[in-house]
Amino acid sequence: MSLTGLGNPAAQLNVYIENTPPLESYLSLSACRPMQNGEIKMIADLTGNHWRKIFNVYAKLVFELKKPHYKSWQDYRDNALLQGHSNENLLFKVTAPEILPHLMRHNTSPNNISIIMGKTYASKLELAETCHWLSTEFAINTDKNLIICPYFDYRQLSNIKITKLCQLIKSMQNVKT
């Protein structure tokens, strides 16, 4: 089974989102493929602020989590986020029957983490009830290396909450090692 999305198909950080950029080339994807330089800007220019926020929050998360060798999260977003040499992906419209087999195959290493973007989407995937809720916004399932967090939007996943998400990822990796 191949899930659709953007990024490195072999990434250790899988983020699941309920929607897809509303452009034909993304709606018709049949696999996970790396992004190209300039593609994030192109999506944001054609679709508006919603997708720009998603990519910005994702870049902030990875920049804080891994401290890559880039000057800023903006530099990381523009030159590495979801590209072939990155260690992350963004998977679109995964369904309940698809998610569990993917989690079981993907999360065999403590460094592999899956993040479900949004409590509502996690409920649709039938995962919200399998997690331990740490607050109204964050939940974890250490057996599945799974975290449920707020949607990647500045209002829902603020900088303070990005820091909290990084702490959860790191603590989950430390528990398994």
Which pLDDT score, from 0 to 100, does residue 27 have? Answer: 93
Q: Report pLDDT digits (tens) over 27-55.
A: 999 999 999 999 999 999 999 899 999 99
Instruction: Give the model's confidence band at 97: pLDDT under 50 very low, under 70 low, under 90 confident, else very high.
Output: confident
> How many whole angstroms separate alpha carbon 102 and alpha carbon 124?
16
Beta-bridge partners for 139: 133, 148
DSSP 3-state of 83: strand
Q: Residue 92's beta-bridge partner residues? A: 17
Average per-residue pLDDT for the chain: 91
pLDDT digits (tens, 9 = 90+) for 67-91: 878 999 999 999 999 999 999 999 9
Instruction: Give the pLDDT band of residue 106 (cuts 50, 70, 90).
Output: low
Locus of tokens 């072939």: 84
- Average pLDDT on 103-127 reads 86
Which position has the higher pLDDT, 127 or 111? 127
Question: Pick the residue with more confidence: 143 or 43?
Answer: 43
Residue % of the chain over a pLDDT of 70 = 95
What does the pLDDT read at residue 67?
82
Asked whether residue 131 carries a pLDDT value surpassing 60, the answer given is yes
What gap in Å lies between CA 46 and CA 88, rounded to an integer?
Answer: 23
The residue ranges of every structural domain in the chain are 15-30+42-176
Q: Which residues pair with 41 in a beta bridge?
A: none
Neighbour tally for 104: CB within 10 Å: 11
Using the 8-state DSSP alphabet, how is residue 68 labeled? -
- Residue-level pLDDT at 176: 46
Q: Which two tokens stand for residue 37?
A: 């330089």
